[in-house]
Chain A
Amino acid sequence: MTSGAMHGVRTPALHRTFGPIRPRPRWLELRLLGLVALALAAGSVSLGATVTRRFGLYDAEGLLIYLGALFAAHAGQVLAGRRTDQILLPTVAMLGGISLLLMQRLPQDLVTQTFFGTTLDLAQVQLVWLLCALTVATTLGIVVRSDRWLRRYKYTWAAVGVGLLLLTFVFGTEVNGQRLTLQLGPLSGQPTELLKVILVVFLAGYLSENRALLVEQDTRIGPIRLPPLPYLAPMVAMWAIALGIVVIQRDLGAALLFFGVFLALLYVATGRVSLVIIGFVLFLLGSAVMAVLFDHIRTRIDIWIDPFADPLGSGFQVVQALHAFARGGLLGVGLGAGLPEIAGRPPIPEVHTDFPLAALGEELGILGVVAILGLYLVVVERGLRIGAAAADDFRALLAVGLALVIGVQAFIIAAGNLKVLPLTGVTLPFISYGGSSLLANAVVVGLLLALSDKGVEPPPPPRVGSRWRRVGRPRAD
């Protein structure tokens, strides 16, 4: 804690927001990035040896561009001289590098996009998005020094989020029975990816402000003690939005993600297990109703219960993913040696968006899968740590929420791949192909980086509004 922060409460305006910038070495990050570069180079050589039967990097150009960008991002942060987290970037960079190797290894014609007359294929498009994501994360990590723009306008953010949702509903195009994609000229994006960040900002704002009320006051219904009902309204609204997403977008995964993060944050803020249980039961009830009402959700659940009932029909995708894990075994078959092609296609449909973990499970084995899951846990751990060390509730809840967005999303899709949960169409953060997903997760990483800097502008004093007095709490300051 700097001395500037100590007296910052009373004189926030005098805080040195834009002082002289002094470069500050980030040795830990550099060392970790060195390890990442080494691991990715080894992976690329392994891939090259399998595919071309020659010793050397596979698609060296792509990998070198990526590694160059990583070290450039590192250099940028060194020059900016901020004391932000040094583990987050290398961890995410490793995941992104795995993504690049995977996309290089898949059939390149799975995706082709033409930007300004240049046609790019799968690995090239993904590389472009990875570079954009790296830029976004690093820029946010360097530039964001104040959280006022997030804190103050939480309802505006919420409105933007709902607006995005409505926009998708009205103008969205339907892909595979899900209305997720918004087309804008040559670019298409999935607004729900950004919505999850906005949601966390709103929740952090709302919960940090009303936390005391939710904790300390009770509404008694018989033996059940609940927080004051008016303050549960946002919870009900969240529930409605989550189910709205299911109805409008037919996107069970996003609903699960939003609601999971919401319940976790509610618990972090209030420490009330009863709220989590009630919310969970409400979600199950809602899902049950949805399953009754909508065929495609029921189909998903049927497939989940027994994909082997129709292994070549409706269960094909899930069954093939499980077979991929089985072929991989403990150590995997090696990068490039898995995914036997049937009629020139990978055996798992949509492997690059929905099933990258199954592909990696086959080629890197269970050990590889566990290592990748471990990387996500590191991201979550960094986020929770940043949250625990944050200067006030808003920042703490924001950091925890952002970390959980990554962790819960990774869990949902990994669980779908492994038949632990029904398969839903969310992406595997940093690994799945897709620009929206990479950019939204880059925003998360960027904000976490910014929040981790203890030297930033201190939070404003808590607002002591009329609500506090009604509750009869002493003034906090």
Chain B
Amino acid sequence: MLGSGIARAPLGRTTIHVAIVVSLAFAVLAGAAGYWGVVTAPELVRSPNDAAVIAAARTVPRGLILDRTGKALASNTSDANGEIHRVYAGRAISQVVGYASTIYGRAGLERAYDPELAGLAGDPLTDAFAKFGADRYDPKDLTLSLSLDLQKAAVAALGKHRGAVIMLDPKTGEVHALASTPTYDASAIADPLTARATFEALQRDPSQPLLPRATLGRYVPGSVFKIVTAVAGLGSGAITPESTFKQQPGTEKSGLLVDGYRVHDGHHPKTGSKALDLIGATEVSCNIYYALTGLQTGGAGLVAYANRMGFDSPLAFDLPTAVSQVTNGDGTMPGGFTDDVELANAAYGQAETFVTPLQMALVAATVANDGELMQPRLVTSMTGRHSGTKIIRPRTMGRVISMADARAINAAMVQAVEGLLGRQFTTGAKVPGITTAGKSGTAELGGTGEPHSWFIGFAPADDPKIVVAVLVEQAGRGAEVAAPIGGDLMTRYLKGAP
């Protein structure tokens, strides 16, 4: 060339290297665009922080939320200035429906279905072309499986107690009632004029009315957890319905020694020296029988069957749920138990076991639906003004145990409600004239506090139409508080309001 430099040639080589690096850097940018625009997009466009969601909230009336009979649970009204805000059908539904406030954001279904209610929902891939449509917003009306009447009855039954009630159809997973108390006035939060005072008072309230206990509360289950142990024991083949433990009767008085710790029985040993089988042990809620069943099943089996029913991960549900656990999982034994003592105690619900009331309803639903668990659900259809109605069909979470095993537990739970000894533990749980299955629980909290009162059950036992789970915080024995609430609500559902 022009002889103008030493080592002229290498410039071309290094320039190509630079070109490669720049191209790779830009490829990273294209990848990032794909990540935000496709991979995380479904989550981002549904977020309440999304500008389109915020903008729609101020200009477009939200879709309605209706109960299973078409009664409006959430509707819109406008104030003197013409600003739109929400009104709700009473306090009973607040922890389910939630609120939509321009000041405090959204909660409950208003949050979970915000994009649909605001009319923005859409999958970025399938709706890529729909976005070009003339109408930007298509608010959808949600129809719930919830029954406003039953929901109100459940909240009224809990009264001044703190607690939760879940009622669902085990064959479809449709939730008919999802009550949490204490509750609050969501309309007052949605109304900008009263929002601030209402919300700040609720945040200060020590009884935590904003907490949806049915889905986000985690409680010691006590004896209702025995149904989980029964499912795991029968499912894994560790026991049969006829299995007995010969050391069980002998240790009723002194307690069963497990690794130096004594498992005591809560029930008075009216059963004498008879070795109890599944039905007998469930009738009197025998801790020793279930501790031995848990040990026989092993930690891995207990956790595996619990997880099949939804433990250890948030439930697939319309609302966010807390994670229920059998154990902390920080131990080295199979399943994550620390030792046999923890496993034995967990088997009757008194170790590091914490559950949501909804999770316990699913345990009862598994038994009621002959071993197959249906996914719980609230929203049964969505109707858009432009897009028409979309029906959301029942979905199964899979078969947990065989029909025969489920029927065996079903029979044991019937005995726990109808049996001569059993009815003392579940007073008031029976639906008059209808065979009822159930299990009560009294969850000791340690210390001097009153135990949590639990009841799970279903009716009619031979063709279950309704499952109920009742938790009442620190209300005493299961038989005294939770069981009558469960019985009354099932009666109301099956026979209509008294």
Compute how far the CA of A211 lies from the CA of B14 in the bound complex, rounded to whole angstroms. Answer: 13
Q: Is the CB of A326 within 8 A of B36?
A: yes
* Chain A CB within 8 A of B266 CB: no
Compute how far the CA of A400 lies from the CA of B19 in the bound complex, rounded to whole angstroms. Answer: 10
- The smallest beta-carbon distance between B157 and chain A, in angstroms, is 40
Known: A312-B49, A326-B44, A330-B125. A340 touches B131 (CB 8 A): no
* Chain A CB within 8 A of B10 CB: yes
Q: Is the CB of B22 within 8 A of A380?
A: yes
* Chain B CB within 8 A of A282 CB: no
Task: Please indicate the chain B residues that have their CB under 8 angstroms from the CB of A365 in the complex.
Answer: 37, 128
* Chain B CB within 8 A of A323 CB: yes
Q: Is the CB of A334 within 8 A of B47?
A: no
Among A319, A347, A388, A477, the residue within 8 A (CB) of B11 is A388
Task: Please indicate the chain B residues that have their CB under 8 angstroms from the CB of A459 in the complex.
Answer: 2, 4
Among A311, A331, A418, A462, the residue within 8 A (CB) of B32 is A418
Task: Please indicate the chain A residues that have their CB under 8 angstroms from the CB of B3 in the complex.
Answer: 9, 461, 476-477
Compute how far the CA of A64 lies from the CA of B23 in the bound complex, rounded to whole angstroms. Answer: 34
* Chain A CB within 8 A of B269 CB: no
- The smallest beta-carbon distance between A224 and chain B, in angstroms, is 21
Known: A268-B15, A268-B18, A347-B51. A322 touches B4 (CB 8 A): no
- Number of contacts between A and B (CB, 8 Å)? 184
- The smallest beta-carbon distance between A329 and chain B, in angstroms, is 3
* Chain A CB within 8 A of B17 CB: yes
Task: Please indicate the chain B residues that have their CB under 8 angstroms from the CB of A376 in the complex.
Answer: 26
* Chain A CB within 8 A of B156 CB: no
- The smallest beta-carbon distance between A386 and chain B, in angstroms, is 10
Interface centre among A212, A330, A396, A411, by most chain B C-beta atoms within 10 angstroms, is A330
- The smallest beta-carbon distance between A360 and chain B, in angstroms, is 10
Task: Please indicate the chain B residues that have their CB under 8 angstroms from the CB of A333 in the complex.
Answer: 131-132
Known: A327-B45, A458-B2, A461-B4. A271 touches B10 (CB 8 A): yes
Q: Is the CB of A327 within 8 A of B26?
A: no
Q: Is the CB of A215 within 8 A of B7?
A: yes
Known: A340-B51, A342-B55, A400-B18. A325 touches B131 (CB 8 A): no
Q: Which of A392-414 contact B (CB under 8 A)?
A: 392-393, 396-397, 400, 404, 407-408, 411, 414
Report the nearest B residue to A358, measured CB to CB: B36
Compute how far the CA of A380 lies from the CA of B21 in the bound complex, rounded to whole angstroms. Answer: 12
Task: Please indicate the chain B residues that have their CB under 8 angstroms from the CB of A458 in the complex.
Answer: 2
Q: Is the CB of A418 within 8 A of B2?
A: no
Known: A326-B44, A418-B36. A370 touches B30 (CB 8 A): yes
Compute how far the CA of A329 lies from the CA of B45 in the bound complex, rounded to whole angstroms. Answer: 10
Q: Is the CB of A320 within 8 A of B125?
A: no
* Chain A CB within 8 A of B391 CB: no
* Chain B CB within 8 A of A473 CB: yes
Complex interface bits, A303-341 against B, C-beta within 8 A gives 1, otherwise 0: 000000001100000011011111111111110010111
* Chain A CB within 8 A of B28 CB: yes
Report the nearest B residue to A341, measured CB to CB: B55
- The smallest beta-carbon distance between A367 and chain B, in angstroms, is 9
Interface centre among A8, A329, A337, A461, by most chain B C-beta atoms within 10 angstroms, is A329
Complex interface bits, A439-464 against B, C-beta within 8 A gives 1, otherwise 0: 00000000000000000001101100
Q: Is the CB of B29 within 8 A of A393?
A: no
Q: Is the CB of B51 within 8 A of A342?
A: yes
Compute how far the CA of A365 lies from the CA of B30 in the bound complex, rounded to whole angstroms. Answer: 11
Compute how far the CA of A366 lies from the CA of B35 in the bound complex, rounded to whole angstroms. Answer: 10
Q: Is the CB of A211 within 8 A of B5?
A: yes
Task: Please indicate the chain B residues that have their CB under 8 angstroms from the CB of A377 in the complex.
Answer: 22-23, 26
Report the nearest A residue to B50, measured CB to CB: A323
Report the nearest A residue to B12, measured CB to CB: A388
Complex interface bits, B85-106 against A, C-beta within 8 A gives 1, otherwise 0: 0000000000000000000000
Q: Which of A341-375 contact B (CB under 8 A)?
A: 341-342, 347-348, 361, 365-366, 369-370, 373
Task: Please indicate the chain A residues that have their CB under 8 angstroms from the CB of B494 in the complex.
Answer: none
* Chain B CB within 8 A of A80 CB: no
Compute how far the CA of A126 lies from the CA of B360 in the bound complex, rounded to whole angstroms. Answer: 64
Compute how far the CA of A440 lies from the CA of B250 in the bound complex, rounded to whole angstroms. Answer: 94
* Chain B CB within 8 A of A35 CB: no
Task: Please indicate the chain A residues that have their CB under 8 angstroms from the CB of B30 in the complex.
Answer: 366, 369-370, 373
Report the nearest B residue to A391, measured CB to CB: B2
Task: Please indicate the chain B residues that have their CB under 8 angstroms from the CB of A86 in the complex.
Answer: none
Compute how far the CA of A404 lies from the CA of B18 in the bound complex, rounded to whole angstroms. Answer: 9
Known: A322-B44, A328-B37. A208 touches B5 (CB 8 A): yes
Task: Please indicate the chain B residues that have their CB under 8 angstroms from the CB of A270 in the complex.
Answer: 14
Task: Please indicate the chain A residues that have their CB under 8 angstroms from the CB of B7 in the complex.
Answer: 211-212, 215
B: residues with CB less than 8 A from A are: 1-8, 10-15, 17-19, 21-23, 25-26, 28-30, 32-34, 36-38, 40-41, 44-45, 47, 49-52, 54-56, 58, 124-125, 127-129, 131-132, 136
Report 16 cross-chain contacts, Cβ distance below 8 Å, ordered by A residue.
A5-B2, A9-B2, A9-B3, A212-B6, A264-B21, A323-B47, A325-B36, A325-B37, A326-B41, A327-B44, A337-B131, A369-B30, A369-B33, A396-B11, A420-B29, A473-B6
Q: A329-B131, A393-B5 are in contact. List 12 more A-B contacts (CB 8 A).
A: A8-B2, A271-B13, A322-B36, A326-B40, A329-B38, A340-B51, A366-B34, A388-B12, A407-B22, A418-B36, A419-B36, A420-B29
A: residues with CB less than 8 A from B are: 5, 8-9, 208, 211-212, 215, 264, 267-271, 311-312, 319-320, 322-334, 337, 339-342, 347-348, 361, 365-366, 369-370, 373, 376-377, 380-381, 384, 387-388, 391-393, 396-397, 400, 404, 407-408, 411, 414-415, 418-420, 458-459, 461-462, 473, 476-477
